[in-house]
Amino acid sequence: MTEVRTRFAPSPTGFLHVGGIRTALFAYLVAKQSDGTFVLRLEDTDKSREVAGSREHLLASLKALHLDYDEGPDISGDYGPYVQSERLGIYAQYAQKLIDAGLAYADPYTSEEIQSFREKAQAEKRAFRYRDYRPEVLPAWDGTKPLRFKSTPKSYTYRDEVMGDITTSPEVIDDLILIKSDGYPTYNFAHIVDDAEMQISHVIRGQEFISSMPNFLALYEALGLERPIFAHMPHIMNEQGNKKLGKRDGAKDVLDYIRDGYLPETLDSFIATLGWNDGTEQEVFTMDELVEKFDLSRVQKSGARFDEKRLLWMNAMLETGTTMRWQRAQAWIGHSVVNIDTPSLVIDLDAMERNMARMAGFASEHGVRLRPHAKMHKSAELARLQMDHGAVGVCVQKTDEALALAHAG
């Protein structure tokens, strides 16, 4: 492979948190610094976990942080479709290749039988391996049962751009499910096929996948596929550094940060420096600087602490011109007022109440003096009257009323 092609491959199972955005950002930077291609692929084969609206939310999150992909579900390319549920025929072809080679077979056991095998292994204080119960004569697959990979225990060595050289144990390799009984492929199988078909040169993802690498490498070998370059990112930890970041520690929807008034540029810079630095004292970077300076070899192996105070500091440190100030104000007011020569802040009541403390900080930071309203009312007619008698701003409830007031002023 000569062209650098990276991918971000989320599942539509909920909001996009900081860890997911960091993976997307690093993949984006690796592609852009080599004039390569950044691909978005939706991995939606686990229908039981899919959350309505997640697809649109994922796309909106990437757009908000300026992580523009070159190929994806809504941008055509040479290697589509870019949604796994639309690629079932491709997986079937690769599955048939393994069947023809005697390397895949139908799972003959019920879930109850497999559970009894697990319990027996536990009672005997040994690890459960499905291959220990593999039938001597491999059952033919007709699509009604799960399709399993016929594995061979083997040790592999591979290079991880972050973690270094890794040698795997042969004992962990097992007969993984490739195709489920519902006809959908598993992640273990589908992502390998997709990365090969889409000519992905760099696979960048979280370190939780390292434990599965022995089985992934066995599948690459069985399918005769060239390995991409691997880079596994360390976990993002809570502020104390003693556990993986969770929702209680700040692992919230990235769009919530935008709504809270954080600049996209701040978030990109902050997230990029969660576990990476350029070897200097610089802490705040523009996107152009990140593209120029980012290097996978400088990503630390240990977990990176999520410090929201540092995020707040970085937001204040970024140089903000008039346009950025207006963007920040819009995060508080809740509605965009467009096509106005002199923008007026038409404040959304709920947004104002949520952000009053930070609004004061914003005003102080930029030398803005907040004057009190002469009166507050939700009626557009009374609001107009108040403004005519000297009120600097008024609060209204409806967007159309806000626009009418702004244009009239």
- Could you list the active site residues? 247
Q: Are strands 5-8 and 37-40 parallel, antiparallel or unpaired?
A: parallel
Q: What is the 3-state secondary structure (H, E, C) of 192-254?
A: HHHHHHCCCCEEEEEHHHHHHHHHHHHHHHHHCCCCCEEEEECCEECCCCCCECCHHHCCCCH
Cα(379)–Cα(396) distance, integer angstroms: 6
Provide the residue type at 123 as one letter. Answer: A
Q: How many CB atoms lie within 10 A of CB 346?
A: 24
Provide the residue type at 141 as one letter. Answer: W
Cα(22)–Cα(306) distance, integer angstroms: 12
Cα(364)–Cα(367) distance, integer angstroms: 5
Asked if 387 and 325 touch (Cβ cutoff 8 Å), the reply is no
Cα(6)–Cα(9) distance, integer angstroms: 10
Angle, CA 334 vertex, CA 332 and CA 338 arms, to 5°: 105
Q: Is 14 left (phi over 0), alpha (psi -120 to 50) or beta?
A: left
Beta bridge partners of 39: 7, 71
Provide the residue type at 285 as one letter. Answer: F
Question: Residues 6 or more apart from 391 whose CB is under 8 A from it?
Answer: 373, 374, 375
Could you give the angle at which helices 380-388 and 399-408 cross, rounded to 10 degrees?
30
SS3 143: coil
CA-closest candidate to residue 6, choices 44, 35, 36: 36
